[in-house]
């Protein structure tokens, strides 16, 4: 893996943002989760400029979020999520649900994430080992050193 200069080497949040923390990368991951596989599909869905998309795809491959392989037709390259890319699902889900609550006016139309039965995905709520709801007020960071 190509190791960046870490913003804050001891913080998992900072490291994650160093690897995937720009909007275009997260939108490419979102679209890969929704079935996009080709450069053209990513560009059409996001509206991203070709040069920026090329850069983001290279970085996502270099950091292990996507892998590239030749399509069955043999004529183009396709992209697929790796395990690390698929592990971003809860992040994308949480951002989506935050956006549903805070980025739209009440009653404003927006897309909805549904499960395999067509039912809306329930709100993601982090919980402790005892089942209690976790939040900023009920957790703390244990720093090293």
Least confident span in 73-77, 110-114, 127-131: 73-77
Mean pLDDT of the chain: 94
User: What per-residue confidence (pLDDT) applies to 144?
Assistant: 85
Where do the domains of the chain lie, and which CATH numbers do they carry? 12-138 (1.10.10.10)
Q: What is the pLDDT of residues 13-62, one digit of tens each?
A: 999 999 998 999 999 999 999 999 999 999 999 999 999 999 999 999 99
Phi, psi angles (nearest 5°) of residue 93: -60, -45
CA distances from 73 to 5, 43, 77, 80 (A): 39, 20, 10, 16
- Specify burial of residue 114 (Cβ count, 10 A radius: 0-12, 13-18, 19+): exposed
Could you give the percent of the chain with pLDDT greater than 70?
97
pLDDT (0 to 100) of residue 3? 63
* Residues in contact with 68: Cβ distance below 8 Å, sequence separation at least 6, in sequence order: 57, 61, 77, 78, 79, 80
What the block records as the tokens of 5 is 């200069």
């Amino acid at each position: 893996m190509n190791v960046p200069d870490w913003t804050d080497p001891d913080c998992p949040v900072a490291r994650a943002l160093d690897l995937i923390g720009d909007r275009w990368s997260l939108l490419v991951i979102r679209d890969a989760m929704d079935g996009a596989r080709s450069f053209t599909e990513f560009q059409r869905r996001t509206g991203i400029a070709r040069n920026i998309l090329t850069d983001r795809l290279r970085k996502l491959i270099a950091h292990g979020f996507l892998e590239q392989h030749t399509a069955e037709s043999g004529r183009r390259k396709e992209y697929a999520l790796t395990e690390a890319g698929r592990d971003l699902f809860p992040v994308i889900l949480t951002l989506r649900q935050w956006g549903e609550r805070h980025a739209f006016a009440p009653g404003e139309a927006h897309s909805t994430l549904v499960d395999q039965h067509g039912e809306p995905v329930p709100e993601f709520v982090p919980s402790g080992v005892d089942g209690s709801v976790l939040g900023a007020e009920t957790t703390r960071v244990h720093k090293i050193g």
